[in-house]
Amino acid sequence: MTHPLRALPVPGGAAVLDLLPVLAAALQGAGPAWLPVPAGDARETARLAGALAVDTPIAEEVALVMATSGSTGTPKGAMLSAAALRASGAATHDRLGGPGSWLLALAPHHVAGMQVLLRSVLAGTTPTVLPTADGFDPALLPPAVAAMAPGRRYTSLVPTQLVRALEHPEATAALAELDAVLLGGAATPPALRTAAEQAGITVVLTYGMSETCGGCVYDGVPLTGVRVRIEDGRVLLGGAPLALGYRNQPEHPAFAERGWFRTDDAGTLTDGVLTVHGRLDDAITTGGLTVLPQVVEAALATHPGVRECAVVGVPDEQWGQRVVAVVVPHNPAAAPTLAEVRAHVALTLDPTAAPKQLHLVSALPLRGPGKVDRRGLADQLGATEH
DSSP code string of 156-180: EE-HHHHHHHHTSHHHHHHHHTSSE
Q: What's 359's domain CATH number?
A: 3.30.300.30
Nearest partner of 235 among 218, 253, 260, judged by Cα: 260
252 and 320 inside one domain: no
Taking the C-alpha atoms of 169, 372, 8 and 59 in order, what is their torsion angle to the nearest 10 degrees? -130
225 and 346 inside one domain: no
DSSP code string of 72-96: TSSPPEEEEEHHHHHHHHHHHHHHH
CA dist., res. 300 & res. 212, Å (int) = 30
Among 276, 310, 341, give the residue marking a domain's end.
Answer: 276
Residue 332: its pLDDT value, please? 92
Among 258, 276, 294, give the residue marking a domain's end.
Answer: 276
Residue 71: its pLDDT value, please? 43
Non-local (6+) Cβ contacts of 318 within 8 A are none
Task: Evaluate whether 101 touches 148 at the Cβ level (below 8 Å).
Answer: yes
236 and 348 inside one domain: no
Among 249, 276, 303, give the residue marking a domain's end.
Answer: 276
Q: For the chain, what is the domain count?
A: 2
151 and 238 inside one domain: yes
Q: What's 191's domain CATH number?
A: 3.40.50.12780
Give mean pLDDT in consecutive 10-residue pieces for the chain, a chain of 386 residues: 95 95 96 93 92 95 88 78 98 98 95 97 97 89 96 94 95 98 88 94 97 97 98 96 94 95 94 90 79 88 92 84 93 94 90 91 82 82 60
183 and 209 inside one domain: yes
250 and 340 inside one domain: no
Q: What is the three-class DSSP state of 238?
A: strand
CA dist., res. 77 & res. 68, Å (int) = 6
Task: Evaluate whether 361 touches 328 at the Cβ level (below 8 Å).
Answer: yes
Query: What is the span of the domain harbouring residue 62?
Result: 2-276
93 and 155 inside one domain: yes
302 and 272 inside one domain: no
Nearest partner of 85 among 43, 138, 130, 26, judged by Cα: 26
Q: Name the DSSP class of 249.
A: B
85 and 160 inside one domain: yes
216 and 351 inside one domain: no
222 and 316 inside one domain: no
311 and 268 inside one domain: no
